[in-house]
């Protein structure tokens, strides 16, 4: 018997295995796809922290894949979308015009992985178990572009020009979404998976797990992974000791995860959002709340799956919109418009990405002068920690230093 829960990303109630329950705060992050250079520093930072041991050779809790062809495990999203489509042919549609505060993307009228499973007599969520081969090459199709329809390995004859490129690819950065309604948690027959009440981080109890791999099968994002030598499942732990503030570097304050803190492209911003009545509590000057709920420039990945994922993406501006809409829902056009011509406030908030390892809970903006020859203002954004103390101050215009002549050609 399924319970009824509210999923704000879908703008409606949906079926889920357990009664609605929410943490006080939710671990969340925004990834700006436009800036990623696929250096894989995040992947290696994660691996060298958590998954460097025997039995974890093919385990990448953080991975960066090239879309549209790449995926880890191979074609994970295409396979899931096909399962959903087979269960409910032609039904995966949104009504993007039905928008309101608690339904910022409108209403999803299709089926989620939970509803589709119930419809065809499957277990708790629709899914499949990837083969060993599908986990072996985390970066297959790296930098492989999509050219003209129906032609392989060809550039589009009309070249490339914004707003949408004819020949295109982009990098998709992926970690566990620490979903509000996790597929992995719903799937587990041992109740070994739990969502922490203090920060919404989803963990697997290694003592309870018996390695049935139901979570591997029913996580739609394929972020729960089986370790053959210990015979239990493992997944991203959101660097919970850092988020708890037990790393001495931040003096007891919540700290960003390793993949976020090491990001070379400065594409990642992570934080904790306050939850009230099952939804994000209004917190206008929390950078994540602002980016996701006020400016709506960052969107969930495949929200139609129904797990209410908590990693949000600023979509890549050069990619054909139909592809992006199936991936991020109907908010894509608005998000790209706002990112392409950012408001004064958005431009300031974008400066907060990767400037502090201590989590920013609130920001303030000090207005600056207009930058000559542009429409931009040299505002300064100030970030505050959990306790309200200033931790960072950064301006729109980057400081410019000229190296003195005497140091030229010296090392």
Which one of residues 176, 243, 255, 288 is an interface residue with ligand SF4 (CB under 6 A)? 176
Nearer to ligand SF4, 151 or 264 (CB): 264
Task: Quote the least distance from Cβ 69 to ligand SF4, whole Å.
Answer: 17
- DSSP code for 293: I
Ranked by CB distance to ligand SF4, the top (closest) residue is: 265
Distance CA 125, CA 51 (A): 27
Q: Which residues contact 163 (CB under 8 A, 6 or more apart)?
A: 317, 318, 336, 340
- Residue written as tokens 């400065």? 266
49 binds ligand SF4 (CB under 6 A): no
Nearer to ligand SF4, 79 or 178 (CB): 178
14 binds ligand SF4 (CB under 6 A): no
41 binds ligand SF4 (CB under 6 A): yes
263 binds ligand SF4 (CB under 6 A): yes
Nearer to ligand SF4, 174 or 386 (CB): 174
CA distances for 143 relative to 10, 212, 322, angstroms: 32, 35, 20
129 binds ligand SF4 (CB under 6 A): no
Q: Which residue spans within 305-348 are E strands per DSSP? A: 311-314
Task: Please identify, among the stretches 75-83, 181-189, 247-255, 274-282, the one whose residues bind ligand SF4 according to the rule CB under 6 A.
Answer: 181-189
Count of chain residues binding ligand SF4 (CB under 6 A)? 27
Tokens for 92, please give them: 């995966």
355 binds ligand SF4 (CB under 6 A): no
Distance CA 77, CA 63 (A): 14
β-pairing, 3-7 with 12-16? antiparallel
Distance CA 324, CA 331 (A): 10
Chain positions 197 to 256 lying near ligand SF4, rule: CB under 6 A, are 202, 219, 221, 223-224, 235
Task: Quote the least distance from Cβ 308 to ligand SF4, whole Å.
Answer: 9
**CA dihedral angle for residue 340, residue 341, residue 346, residue 349, rounded to 10 degrees:** 50
Q: Are 35 and 266 in contact (CB under 8 A)?
A: yes
Task: Quote the least distance from Cβ 400 to ligand SF4, whole Å.
Answer: 24
Task: Quote the least distance from Cβ 379 to ligand SF4, whole Å.
Answer: 25
Task: Quote the least distance from Cβ 97 to ligand SF4, whole Å.
Answer: 29
Q: Are 310 and 26 in contact (CB under 8 A)?
A: yes
Q: Using alpha carbons, select from 84, 66, 88 the residue that is nearest to residue 75.
A: 66
10 binds ligand SF4 (CB under 6 A): no
Binding site for ligand SF4 (CB under 6 A): 36-42, 64, 173, 176-179, 182-184, 202, 219, 221, 223-224, 235, 263-265, 267, 307
């Amino acid at each position: 018997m399924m319970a009824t829960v509210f999923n704000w990303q879908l703008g409606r109630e949906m079926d889920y295995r357990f009664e609605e329950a929410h943490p006080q705060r939710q671990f969340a992050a925004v990834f700006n796809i436009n800036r990623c250079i696929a250096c894989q520093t995040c992947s290696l930072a994660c691996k060298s922290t958590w998954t460097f041991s025997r039995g974890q050779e093919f385990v990448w809790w953080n991975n960066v894949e090239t879309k549209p062809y790449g995926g880890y495990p191979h074609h994970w999203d295409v396979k899931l979308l096909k399962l959903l489509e087979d269960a409910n042919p032609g039904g995966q549609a949104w009504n993007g015009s039905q928008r309101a505060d608690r339904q910022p993307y409108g209403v999803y009228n299709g089926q989620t992985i939970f509803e589709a499973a119930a419809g065809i007599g499957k277990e708790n969520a629709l899914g499949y178990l990837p083969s060993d081969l599908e986990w072996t090459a985390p970066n297959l199709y790296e930098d492989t572009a999509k050219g003209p329809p129906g032609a392989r390995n060809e550039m589009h004859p009309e070249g490339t020009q914004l707003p949408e490129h004819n020949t295109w690819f982009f990098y998709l950065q992926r970690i566990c979404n620490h979903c509000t309604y996790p597929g992995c948690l719903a799937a587990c027959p041992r109740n070994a998976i739990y969502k922490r009440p203090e920060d919404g981080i989803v963990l697997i109890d290694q003592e309870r797990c018996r390695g049935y791999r139901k979570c591997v099968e029913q996580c739609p994002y394929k972020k729960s992974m089986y370790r053959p030598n210990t015979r239990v499942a493992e997944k991203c732990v959101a660097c919970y000791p850092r988020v708890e503030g037990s790393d001495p570097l931040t003096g007891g304050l919540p700290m960003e995860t390793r993949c976020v803190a090491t990001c070379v492209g400065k594409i990642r911003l992570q934080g904790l959002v306050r939850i009230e009545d099952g939804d994000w509590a209004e917190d206008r000057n929390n950078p994540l709340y602002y980016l996701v709920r006020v400016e709506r420039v960052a969107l969930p990945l495949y929200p139609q799956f129904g797990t209410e994922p908590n990693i949000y993406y600023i979509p890549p501006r050069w990619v054909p919109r139909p592809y992006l809409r199936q991936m991020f829902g109907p908010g894509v056009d608005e998000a790209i418009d706002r990112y392409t011509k950012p408001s004064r406030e958005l431009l300031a908030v974008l400066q907060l990405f990767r400037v502090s390892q201590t989590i920013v809970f609130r920001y303030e903006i000090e207005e600056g002068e207009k930058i000559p020859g542009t429409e931009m203002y040299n505002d300064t954004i100030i970030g505050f920690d959990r306790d309200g103390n200033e931790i960072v101050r950064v301006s729109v215009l980057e400081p410019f230093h000229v190296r003195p002549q005497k140091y030229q050609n010296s090392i």
